[in-house]
């Protein structure tokens, strides 16, 4: 399917809304509202009004039935040429990064010259569904051919149980456990302390606050709905304040708390990717190149594995294919779904036993220098609108690499529901 030699894929621009805690600044907005607005903002900033791109790819995790064909509908209102194709993808928290990889692959193969990867999510507008009883009764009424049949179907609505709504739950269908419960089990298995998790969370807030104060996000974050910064950011928090919070998933012995976890969040992000030739022809900068991607999944129902440990497998595979070592990177972006997930992943890579038995390596993959990890803050401080997190991380890392100069590399690892992970390498 190649249309010529593989091409380098440039990250040209990125934009996101400030992220907002659930039921705050964006409480009345929908996925469509936020994604349309961030796409329009990116189109305006890059001068692409009326331009036909190769495609726009993205999605949302928390979707209503009305959100079908969401990305295409948002693209039609973005200012791009209406002939720009668009489609939805969903890979839980890896959605945004997976969208980047999909667009990049087509650019590399010469199938398209440029495209946008995007994502949005709102937990403020979560899809509360009618009960299965009511759904079946309404469908029966709609399909009835006679008034008698309609009445018989309608009588089923007299059952009070029909009016009990189905509330979305944060639980894995195969285990019935929430992500936090799974993460707590894994933290216990790896012996990750509360103090270590709180320290990583504090660093996330401090790094994000410093980046905002230095103007780093001035061209990456749009002012939106009265926000100029992520409203979960707590620059004045301390370890002492964090230590007062109870365990979120095990109140007596739990080490995971609201302070060292990412909060329920609303927001949207978008990334413009292109061939070098396309970008230069339009006078657009090349921030960095997306040079590799890898996905992995683990059998998290097997108690030996953790639900959010897919990155521990995906990254070593990606490094092996590229002939790289874990220490070869200038920046590391490991998604902070929970501080414990980051620390468990690092512990796995530092473990001779894990790397030999699970990865087939001769010994430990290695350690990461902490001053290169999530240096502009991550999901604990910024928030985590599921499908938008990948775009936030790609945009942040691409700019950090651009400012660092040529010959720099950055590693991304994003864990996702279902025991999955999406990872990538960016470089200048």
Which residues have a catalytic role annotated? 93, 384, 415
Query: Which stretches of 169-317 are assigned E, i.e. beta strand?
Result: 265-275, 288-297
The answer to whether residues 424 and 412 touch, using CB atoms and an 8 Å cutoff, is: yes
Q: Which residues contact 1 (CB under 8 A, 6 or more apart)?
A: 109, 111
CA distance 312 to 344: 9
CA distance 68 to 78: 17
Q: Report the alpha-carbon angle 39-417-258, nearest 5.
A: 85
Q: Which helix (H) or strand (E) holds 16?
A: strand 9-16
Closest to 398 measured CA to CA, from 7, 8, 10, 6: 10
Tokens 């010469």 found at: 110
Q: Which residues contact 14 (CB under 8 A, 6 or more apart)?
A: 42, 220, 269, 270, 271, 272, 287, 391, 394, 395, 396, 398, 399
* Burial status of residue 249 (CB atoms within 10 A of its CB: 0-12, 13-18, 19 or more): buried
Neighbours of 178 (CB within 10 A): 16
The CA-based dihedral angle spanning residues 296, 298, 300, 306, taken in that order and rounded to the nearest 10 degrees: -70
Phi, psi of 393, deg, nearest 5: -70, -45
Which DSSP symbol is given to 225?
T
Q: Give one DSSP letter per residue of 78-132, joined into a string.
A: TTS-TT--EEE--BTBTHHHHHHHHHHHHHHTTS-SEEEEEEEE-STT--PBPPH
Phi, psi of 55, deg, nearest 5: -175, 160
């Amino acid at each position: 399917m190649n249309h010529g030699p593989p091409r380098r894929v440039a990250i040209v621009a990125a934009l996101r809304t400030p992220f907002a805690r659930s039921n705050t600044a964006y409480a009345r907005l929908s996925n469509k509202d936020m994604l349309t607005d961030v796409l329009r903002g990116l189109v305006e900033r890059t001068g692409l009004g009326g331009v036909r791109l190769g495609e726009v790819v993205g999605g949302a995790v928390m979707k209503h039935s009305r959100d079908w064909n969401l990305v295409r509908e948002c693209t039609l209102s973005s200012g791009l040429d209406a002939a720009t194709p668009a489609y939805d993808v969903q890979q839980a928290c890896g959605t945004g990064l997976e969208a980047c990889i999909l667009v990049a692959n087509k650019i590399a193969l010469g199938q398209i010259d440029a495209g946008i990867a995007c994502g949005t999510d709102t937990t403020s507008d979560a899809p509360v569904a009618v009960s299965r009883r009511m759904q079946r009764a309404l469908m029966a009424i709609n399909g009835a051919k006679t008034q008698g049949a309609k009445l018989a179907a309608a009588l089923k609505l007299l059952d009070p149980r029909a009016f009990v709504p189905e509330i979305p739950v944060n639980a894995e269908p195969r285990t019935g456990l929430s992500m936090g419960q799974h993460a707590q089990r894994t933290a216990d298995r790896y012996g990750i302390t509360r103090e270590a998790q709180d320290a990583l969370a504090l660093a996330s807030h401090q790094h994000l606050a410093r980046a905002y104060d230095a103007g780093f996000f001035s061209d990456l974050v749009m002012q939106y709905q009265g926000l100029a910064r992520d409203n979960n950011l707590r620059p004045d928090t301390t370890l002492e304040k964090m230590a007062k919070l109870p365990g979120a998933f095990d109140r007596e012995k739990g080490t995971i708390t609201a302070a060292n976890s990412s909060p329920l969040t609303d927001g949207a992000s978008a990334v413009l990717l292109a061939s070098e030739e396309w970008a230069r022809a339009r006078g657009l900068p090349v921030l960095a190149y997306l040079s590799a991607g890898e996905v992995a999944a683990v059998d998290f129902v097997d108690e030996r594995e953790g639900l959010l440990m897919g990155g521990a497998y995906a990254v070593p595979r990606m490094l092996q294919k590229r002939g790289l070592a874990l220490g070869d990177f200038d920046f590391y972006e490991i998604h902070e779904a929970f501080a414990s997930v980051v620390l468990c992943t690092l512990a796995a890579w530092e473990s001779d036993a894990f790397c030999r038995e699970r990865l087939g390596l001769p010994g430990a993959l290695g350690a990461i220098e902490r001053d290169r990890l999530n240096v502009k803050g991550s999901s604990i401080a910024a928030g985590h609108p599921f499908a938008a997190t990948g775009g936030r991380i790609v945009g942040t890392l691409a700019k950090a690499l651009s400012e660092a100069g040529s010959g720099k590399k950055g590693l991304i690892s994003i864990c996702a529901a279902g025991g999955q992970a999406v990872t990538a390498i960016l470089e200048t």
